[in-house]
Every structure is written in structure tokens, then in C-alpha cells.
Chains A and B, each alone.
Chain A
Amino acid sequence: MIKIEALYFKYDTDNFEVNIESLHFSRGGIHCLIGPNGSGKTSLLSLLAGLFPPAKGRISINNMDYASNRIEIYEKAFFSIDQPGFYGNMNAYDNLEIHCLYRKKSASNISEILKLMELRNDGKKYKNYSTGMKQKLNIAASLLHNPQLIVLDEPFNALDPGAVINIKAIFQKFNRELGTTFVISTHLIKEAESFCTHFLMMKDGQIVLQDSMASASNGLEIEYKKVFLS
């Protein structure tokens, strides 16, 4: 699904670098990106989303790259990097309708998705939403058009435990029934452990450990302690 080869990126404003020799996200997997603050998770996701061009190396999604197939990639993928971006003076329905207009898709399933995410279509403006509700709307936008690839930056932040359980179940359902590939960054090791199929640990802009959950026999928490706290 996603292939990264000899990737190098450096910010103009500071000395932080992302340096990845080789990385592969398999199709149909739920991949969790784990690492402490400032380890380069958001930078890597931004590079995957084509927001920054890498200084060196190549990123390909479905054997396409941003230089020649930008539109085709965005048609089949949803990216949400950093924090949710919606229009404050509009309600949830209208914000999702904007996504439909940009993606040339029907708005017929907006109400269904809002219901699935336990969001009410009551005209409440986005600017009055709690952080958790904003996060839910972002996840709703990601699921709206059944993309092949969903990339989310810390989607469980600010969600209550009940919502986290619900959303994990929804992600697993999409993954199982539609074959959607997820790439998710998170700090919540236990949550990652309970639903990811693959994990990836990052430190100082580099991949320090990448494996499938089935191979991590000790559990993610022990692996995390080994990598970051030893």
C-alpha cells in the first residue's frame, strides 16, 4: 500500500530530521505509529500526506507518487494531520457536505455517519464543539467516502473511554469488511495493542522498531519500555 525508500526530510526552521531507509505499510492492515513527543510521528504522516516534499527519497502509495498522481492518491485516501480542520461557523452536517463537494461524492450518507459517531445533527456550530466532538467529526469525515487508506494523527486524543471503544470497533469493521488500510499515530499503547495489526516505533525521526502485533509476544508496553526507557 505505502512504500518509503531512502526518505530524508529536514525542516527549514530547526534541525529536526526524518531519516527512513525503508518502510512498508501493507494493504488491509491497521498500522500504529508509536513514539514519545517530538519523535517525528506527525512529520512522517505529513510526508505521507504529501504536505511536504521530501528532500530525498521516494514515497509511493498504491504504486503512485505525489509528483505525477497527486489527485489520484487523494481520491483514494483520507489524511488528517495535526488537528482537525473544519469551519467554525458551520455545523457538522455542513462541514461534511463541504468534504462531499470537494470529493465529488454524494452527501446521502452524512446523517448515517454522524449517527455512527454519536454526533447529533442539531445545528450546533463546530466552534462550540468540545475537543472530543471535534475529534469525532474528524473521524466521521475520514469514514464518509470509504477510502482505501485512512491516515489519522492521534485520533483518540480527548475521547472518553466509551468513544474510544466504539471507534476502535468501527475501524475494525471498516478494515474487515471494506479492506480499509489505517495508519494511525497514538500515545495510547494499550489502545494500540488492542486493535492494531502492525506497529512502528519512532525515535528522533527514525524507525527503531517495526513489526506485526502477532510477533510482539511480550506485548507493546514491554517493547516500548525496551526501546524508550532502557
Chain B
Amino acid sequence: MNINILNILKAEFKKINHWADLLVLSLIALFIVLFAFLIIKSDTETIVGKNAFDILFYDMSFKLYVLLALPLITVIFTSKAYSLEFHNKTKRTLYTMPVERSTFFFTKLSVVLLYNIYSIIFLAVSYLLLRTTFTSNLNISSTLDLMNLFNYTILGIIAITLAVIPVSIFHLWLSSRKISLIYNIYIYIGIYSISLAMYSKYIVNQWYNFYLFPYFFHKQIFIYFKDHFIDSRIEYFSAHNYPFLMFIVIISIILALVSSKYFIDYKDKKY
């Protein structure tokens, strides 16, 4: 890798308060796991009956992550990465540095991508840390399936990449135009739609299975996913948690609006 890209990546992390950000991301991951546990706890009969606590628990955590955390983290941190250049009036300084302008875009995209990857890995770690406490609390025995955890994490990273790239491109486009705050909300709705689409049976059965995955991944993993988890869990999730799903959607949109207000400052972006 070009050493200059590493330097610029280091500069990007230096600009943002990354220790505080990582703490927030860790708390989000912990919150998601706790939230997932609370949902599952309300339906213990199903879990015990299926003897699939681990599968269901991480499946729920993962879904909550993609529905609630992924769009929020992506929009907040992409907005933050770009808006700090406008807020501090450093865009002109950056553009007179001996660096290709496209490199700035790729490094900002990489920061958001790495943040998201960190959060999904921390989600898996949080799950591993908390599952023992939860299983003993509910007095159930369940076998830990690390392969399942790994597959979900990989799927999460792919979901993250799919989410981060369009948002970053959109922000780059925004950075060259005088626009209002409302566009950030459009991005959120867009990325939210992508997240929801990830759950549609059509996407799972057709797009992933036959078009996307064979190029990037071993097809068997996909089929394994489809047959063992995704289809049945979608039905479970939709049948049992529809009002709850709506609640999450509303809460996350409110959070996105509030976060946008704080992180986006395009007032002085034109020069």
C-alpha cells in the first residue's frame, strides 16, 4: 500500500476524536446486544423449544445492528468526516496539499468503514462476553456456534461496505454543492432503505445468492445462511416483532435527525 495513503489515514484519525468515537461505538454494540437479549427474553418459550438460544440471540443482535446502528453510524461518521473540513475551513488547505483529491475521499470512506467494522466486531465480542450471563439467567443450555458468529460478522462487513460506499459518494457530491441540511435526511432514508432491503426475501434469494456472493465469497456459506438462518428468522422477526420493528424505525430516524443537526454544518461551505 502507498505509504502516503497510510499517512493520510493517520491524519484522518488524528483529526477526529477517535478515542471518544470508539467508546461510543463500543457502547452502541453493547446496547444492541442488551436490546436483543431483552427481546428474546420476552419469548423464552420459543427459544427453549427450539433449543437455539445462541442462533436466535446473535441473529437478533445482528438484525438490530443492521437496522439501527449501521445506518446511524454510517451517516453520523461520514457527515462528521466531511463536515469538519467545512466547519474548520480546511478544504482549501487540503486541496493545496500534494495529494490526489480522490485520496481524501477514499481515506474518509476508509475511516467510516473501519469504524463500522470495529463496531460489528465489538458486537460479536459483546455477545461472547454477555451470553454466558444470559444463558445462566434464563437457565437454558445452548451450544455456542462460532462459525455462525463468524459468518454473520462477514455478512455484516459486506452490509457495511454496501452501506458506506453510496453514503460517502453522496457526501462527496454534496461537498461540491451548496445544499441544505435536508439532504442528509434523504441520505439516511436511502441508507435505511438499503438496510431494510437486506432483509427482503427477494434480495436474500435472488440477488445475494446468484449475483453478488459467488464473486466475492464461497457460495456454500450463503446457502448455509439462507437454509439455516435467514429465511426462518425473517418470518419469526416479522411475525412476532412488527410493532417493535416500527418502534426501532421511528427511534432511529429521530436519532438520525438529532445527530444530523449536530454534525452537519454546510452554512459556510461555499467558497
Contact = CB atoms under 8 A, between A and B. Distances in A.
Interface of A: 49-51, 71-72, 74-75, 77-83, 85-90, 94, 97-99, 101-104
Of residues A78, A79, A102, which shows the largest number of chain B Cβ atoms within 10 Å of its Cβ?
A: A102
Nearest to B99: A102
B242 interface: no
A83 B89 contact: yes
A82 B7 contact: no
Interface stretch (B9-17, B46-54, B166-174, B205-213): B9-17
A88 B88 CA distance: 6
A101 B98 contact: no
Nearest to B91: A85
Contacts of B11: 98, 101-102
Q: How large is the interface on B (under 10, 10 to 19, 20 to 34, 35 or more residues)?
A: 20 to 34
Given A94-B14, A97-B14, A103 B93 contact: no
A104 B90 contact: no
Interface in B217-239: none
Contacts of B97: 74, 99, 102-103
Nearest to B103: A102
Given A94-B14, A98-B11, A86 B88 contact: yes
Contacts of A78: 96
B185 interface: no
Given A51-B95, A81-B96, 6 more contacts: A75-B98, A78-B96, A82-B89, A88-B87, A102-B8, A102-B11
Given A82-B92, A101-B7, A104-B3, A87 B98 contact: no
Given A89-B17, A98-B14, A49 B96 contact: yes
Contacts, number: 68
Given A85-B91, A88-B87, A103 B14 contact: no
Interface string B72-96: 0000000000001001111111111
B4 interface: yes
Interface in B130-178: none
B96 to A, nearest CB: 4
Contacts of A101: 7-8, 10-11, 14
A82 B271 contact: yes
Nearest to A81: B92
Contact of A71 (B3, B89, B100, B271): B100
A33 B99 CA distance: 28
B15 A90 contact: yes
11 contacts: A51-B92, A74-B98, A81-B96, A83-B89, A85-B89, A85-B93, A86-B93, A88-B88, A97-B14, A101-B7, A101-B10
Contacts of B89: 82-83, 85
Contacts of A102: 7-8, 11, 94, 97-99
B92 A85 contact: yes
Interface string B97-121: 1111000000000000000000000
B14 A51 contact: no
A129 to B, nearest CB: 12
Given A85-B90, A86-B88, A94-B14, A104 B7 contact: yes
